Amino acid sequence: MLAGYSSGGMLAYNMAMTDALTYAGVLIENSGLSQAVGAGNVDAVLGAAGWLINVAHTARIQDASFPIAGVRVDRDKMVAHGFPLQYRELDGPHDGTPADWSDYLIPLMAGWVSP
């Protein structure tokens, strides 16, 4: 399992997609796949993933660091590629809360297993 917030989420996304067979899934808060791999590379990275790794992502609508429009484009590309994605958007800026992890993200991984 990988997890990350903001720039840590970028690192987690990058590792999860480039070495997917190693992980059961990735938990992301307030980050972006495009920023991790380059906006022009998202489709290629998703297509090259070793398996359709589990993804859970929480995004903030007013996040100035990871604008919601770009996060939605990444979300739509993951769905189009068939990734099992749990995704939610919340009001607010880039700041997250411990409850984002304890009440939403972490429970989602309970049944995840690596290939």
Question: Where exactly are the structural domains of the chain?
Answer: 2-111
pTM of the model: 0.96
Report the CATH number of the 2-111 domain. 3.40.50.1820
Report the pLDDT value the prediction gives residue 13, as an integer from 0 to 100.
Answer: 98
Angstrom distance (rounded) from CA 115 to CA 99: 29
33-77 confidence digits (pLDDT tens):
999 999 999 999 999 999 999 999 999 999 999 999 999 999 999
Count how many residues are written for the chain. 115
Query: What are the structure tokens assigned to 12, written together?
Result: 């987690």
Q: Is the dihedral angle over the CA atoms 8, 87, 65, 40 positive or is it negative?
A: positive
Mark out the alpha helices in the chain (DSSP H runs): 7-18, 33-37, 42-48, 68-80, 98-99, 106-108
Report the chain's mean pLDDT, rounded to a whole number. 97
Q: Which pLDDT does position 111 carry in this prediction?
A: 94
Given this model, what pLDDT does residue 5 score?
Answer: 98
